[in-house]
Amino acid sequence: MENVSSHKLFILNGFSELGALRPVLFLPFFIMLAVSLLANSLLLYVIISQRSLHSPMCILIAGMAVVDLSLPLFFVPNMLLSFLFDWRGISLIGCLVQMYLVHLLGAFQSTLLLWMALDRYFAICTPLSYHERMTLPRFLKFVIPLVVRNVVMVSVVVSLAGRLPFCFKNVMNHCFCEHMALVELACGSTTINNLVGLTSVFLIPVVDFFSITTSYIIIFSSVLSSGKSGVKALHTCITHIVVMAVSLTIILTAFLSYRIRNGLPAAMRVFFSTMYLLFPSCFNPIIYGIRTTEIRQHILKTLTCCRFVQTVN
């Protein structure tokens, strides 16, 4: 048996089933990366530059844009090089660092939706005390516990994965260092890793999902029972529900596909694991930019000014 030190380099072999067609994947993933970078950069610029958009909800949307802007940079460029030049190698340390950053930022995609739901709950159900509740010291009481939860859970998951022995296999059927894709290669017992991984899924996206759902049930009940006009507020809530439902469906499909042997093709499993990170990064800024009236108006104004400057030049 080879010792643990024999495998310090891993091969990311995602979508290998496509064979000679694998380089074709460069184009769609490059387009998605470009859309993510451009849309999130524009959204972030508009919110920062316009003082009228410095409301709690818009600041949270800006936080989402920062996460969505950063996340693809930690794994998509490496994927593109792999598709184009067949560069598939990654060191164990590099793999663990990538895993930590990708999963931590992925966790905050879910958590930011929860913070947005809390903002809507306070705005609709307790409008008279909204600004008091959304002051920084009070809001930090909701922010800090979830930040600690995300950091601790992801740190535990990654540190446990890094302590596994990798004796026989070093070919990972994935395009980036996803937790279970690496754990599957271990030659020792992975029971603890599976349990901790499932616990992290339950404590982060699933708990966030049920917390968001509960807050929206209370919001809808409050609006319907009071008979007040909450169309504008509910408009934002519906946006959150759509984003959350699609994202959670992809996340659970990706995570459970490693644990439930349901005959899902390897390429589909890799696709879902990639999309649960890349899909929100591409579509969150588009959805929030279009459906949030104030932001949409400023984006159109910014784009119009840019076109005018180019025409003059």
pLDDT digits 0-9 by tens, 203-234? 998 898 888 888 888 888 877 776 655 555 56
Residue 98 has a pLDDT of 94
DSSP H or E run through 11 = strand 9-12
- Are 209 and 109 spatial neighbours (Cβ–Cβ below 8 Å)? no
Residue 5 has pLDDT above 60, yes or no: no
Strand order from edge to edge, sheet including 9-12? 89-91, 9-12, 171-172
Query: What is the pLDDT averaged over residues 2-9?
Result: 57
- Are 178 and 273 spatial neighbours (Cβ–Cβ below 8 Å)? yes
**Residue 108, token pair as written in the block:** 């905050």
Q: What residue spans of 50-178 are helical by DSSP H? A: 56-70, 76-85, 92-125, 130-133, 136-162
Residue 73 has a pLDDT of 93
The Cα 78–Cα 228 span in angstroms is 51
**Residue 216, token pair as written in the block:** 């929206």
Confidence band for 77, pLDDT divided at 50, 70 and 90: very high
The Cα 229–Cα 103 span in angstroms is 39
The residue segments making up the domain with residue 284 are 4-312
Q: What is the pLDDT of residues 111-133, one digit of tens each?
A: 998 888 888 888 888 888 888 88
Q: What is the pLDDT of residues 121-168, one digit of tens each?
A: 888 888 888 888 888 788 888 889 999 999 999 999 999 998 888 887
Residue 3 has a pLDDT of 45
Query: What is the pLDDT averaged over residues 257-263?
Result: 61
Secondary structure of residue 260 in the 3-state scheme: coil
Residue 23 has pLDDT above 80, yes or no: yes
Which of residues 253 and 1 earns the better pLDDT score?
A: 253
Q: Using alpha carbons only, what angle is made at residue 279 by residues 278 and 281, rounded to the nearest 5 degrees?
A: 65
Percentage of the chain lying above the pLDDT 90 cut:
27
Residue 263 has a pLDDT of 61
Q: Using alpha carbons only, what angle is made at residue 255 by residues 253 and 261, rounded to the nearest 5 degrees?
A: 80
Angle between the N-to-C axes of helices 26-49 and 266-291, in degrees from 0 to 180, rounded to the nearest 10: 30
Residue 106 has pLDDT above 50, yes or no: yes
Task: Kindly report which listed range (45-54, 75-84, 197-206, 229-238) carries the lowest average pLDDT score.
Answer: 229-238
**Domain CATH number, residue 95:** 1.20.1070.10
Residue 260 has a pLDDT of 63
| CB atoms near residue 303 (< 10 Å) | 12
The Cα 234–Cα 215 span in angstroms is 12
Residue 236 has a pLDDT of 63
Residue 261 has a pLDDT of 56
183-186: list long-range contacts, CB under 8 Å, 24+ apart. 184/258, 185/7, 185/10
Query: What is the pLDDT averaged over residues 74-78?
Result: 92
Percentage of the chain lying above the pLDDT 70 cut:
87
The Cα 252–Cα 109 span in angstroms is 15
Candidates 252, 275, 274; CA nearest to 262 is 252
How many domains is the chain partitioned into structurally? 1
